[in-house]
Each structure stands twice: as C-alpha cells, then as structure tokens.
Amino acid sequence: MRKSKQIEMTISEASDFFDEHDIFEFDNVKEVTDIKFKLQKKKYIGLDMGLFEKIRNKAKKLHKSEDLLINEWLLEKTE
C-alpha cells in the first residue's frame, strides 16, 4: 500500500487554495478522524495599514505568513 503524502499549510493558505480548487477534484481524499489541535491564547493588536502592507510584502518574499514573520521579529527583539 502506498503511503499518502501529507501537505502542511496554514489555515490562510488552505483557504486561498480552496478558493481556486474544489475538493471533488481529488479522487484520493479521505475523511480525517484524528485531528489534533494545539490551541494557544493570542492577543491581536492594531497596525497601521501602510506598515502592514510592508510586512505582507516582506512575508510574501520570504514565503511566510504575516503572523509568523511578525512573531519571529518580536521574539528576536524580546530575547
């Protein structure tokens, strides 16, 4: 039996993907019954839209989400 290949993506990436694709395009899709979540409390802050656009562009060039890039930068600054 062939081992299936798992694809990891963020919720945002999955949302973008399924905006352009239909689940019925794939013949090997199976129902997942063993999903595990690691929930963490988060605090959301407001950013100036101009600054956010710069962060979005930088994140896109680095193939990262905006959240991940911002968290990496803040972690560096607080160590």
pLDDT tens per residue, range 31-67: 778 888 888 888 889 999 999 999 999 999 999 999 9
The number of domains in the chain is 1
In a domain, 25, yes or no: no
In a domain, 18, yes or no: no
In a domain, 19, yes or no: no
Tell me if the pTM is above 0.75: no
Do residues 34 and 24 touch, judged by C-beta distance below 8 A? no
In a domain, 53, yes or no: yes
The domain in which residue 65 lies consists of 43-79
Which uninterrupted H or E stretch holds 63?
none
Model confidence pLDDT, tens digit, residues 16-32: 888 888 877 877 777 77
In a domain, 20, yes or no: no
In a domain, 72, yes or no: yes
In a domain, 36, yes or no: no
In a domain, 77, yes or no: yes
